[in-house]
């Protein structure tokens, strides 16, 4: 498939600009990067945006069973569907690898017909099952009239989906590898905020032995 270039610009804000500027940049670009001195300040910012429903450390470990805590590359995906926004705060960054990559959902949907979009809306993937009363399955795509939310991880595909659904998932995954992503490497004290179900994210491989630590926060909003 053809390699595509996106036109996103990364807004980088200083601490004195945070209160007045970051909501506008977040809405315009669907993501923003802030310089934040402490994790307490990070939690204050995230609490202003919505309800913090989950926090955890993303730290590289040789024996980790979690994909996010391994040294391996992570393919494009979204997190739990309840997380409207995701915050990634860099405490320690790796020297080699660990770049974060972003692709906007709208860049992917340009290559799907309305019929294919409807198939995605009827394709259910396994849910992460983290919170009480989480459903077992969740639709890959929700929305209408060009306004869509995605829930996607290739490892969450169910075994009993139809051939058409399998083909759509294959096409979707291939597109995430052919569209040129936004690629950034967070520095210590930088906070990346992005819309979880509007932007898919991935991570490049990290060299084994690197001591990388990000703080991840899920933020739920009513809108």
Q: What is the pLDDT of residues 28-49, one digit of tens each?
A: 889 999 999 999 999 999 998 9
Three-class HEC string of the chain: CCCECCCCCCCEECHHHHHHHHHHHHHHHCEEEEECCCHHHHHHHHHHHCEEEEEEEEECCCCCCCCCCCCCCEEEECCCCCCCEEEEEEEECCCCECCEEEEEHHHHHCCCCHHHHHHHHCCEEECCCCCCCCCCEEECEEEECCEEEECCEHHHECCCCCHHHHHHHHHHHHHHHHECCEEECCCCCEEEEEECCCEEEEECCECCCCCCEEEEEEEECCC
Task: State residue 62's pLDDT score.
Answer: 73
**Res. 8: pLDDT tops 70:** no
The two three-digit tokens of residue 206, written as one number: 């990290």
Range in 14-28, 43-57, 104-118 the model is least confident about: 14-28
For residue 40, the tally of other CB atoms under 10 A from its CB is: 9
Q: What is the widest separation between alpha-carbon atoms in the chain? A: 53
| pLDDT at res. 119 | 96
Which pTM was predicted?
0.88
Q: Encode pLDDT of 160-205 as tens digits.
A: 889 999 999 999 999 999 999 999 999 999 999 999 999 999 999 9
Q: Which domains does the chain have, with CATH numbers?
A: 29-213 (3.60.130.10)
Quote the pLDDT of residue 223.
Answer: 63
Is the per-residue pLDDT at 93 higher than 70? yes
| pLDDT on residue 3 | 37
Average pLDDT, the chain: 87
The CA distance from 39 to 55, in Å, is 11
């Amino acid at each position: 498939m053809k390699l595509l270039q996106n036109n996103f610009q990364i807004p980088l804000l200083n601490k004195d600009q945070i209160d007045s500027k970051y909501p506008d940049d977040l809405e315009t670009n669907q993501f923003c990067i802030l310089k934040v001195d402490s994790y307490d300040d990070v939690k204050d910012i995230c609490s202003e945006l919505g309800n913090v429903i989950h926090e955890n450390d993303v730290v590289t470990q040789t024996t980790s069973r979690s994909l996010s805590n391994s040294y391996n590359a992570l393919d494009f995906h979204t997190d739990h569907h309840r997380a409207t926004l995701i915050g990634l705060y860099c405490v320690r960054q790796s020297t080699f690898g660990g770049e974060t990559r972003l692709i906007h959902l709208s860049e992917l949907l340009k290559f799907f017909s309305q019929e294919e979009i409807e198939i995605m809306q009827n394709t259910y993937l396994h849910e992460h099952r983290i919170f009480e009363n989480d459903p077992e399955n969740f639709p890959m795509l929700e929305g209408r009239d060009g306004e869509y939310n995605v829930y996607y991880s290739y490892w969450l595909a169910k075994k009993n989906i139809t051939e058409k659904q399998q083909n759509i998932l294959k096409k979707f995954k291939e597109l995430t590898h052919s569209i040129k992503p936004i690629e950034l490497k967070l520095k210590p004290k930088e906070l990346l905020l992005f819309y979880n179900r509007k932007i898919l994210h991935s991570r490049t491989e990290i060299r084994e032995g690197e001591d990388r630590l990000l703080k991840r926060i899920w933020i739920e909003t009513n809108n």
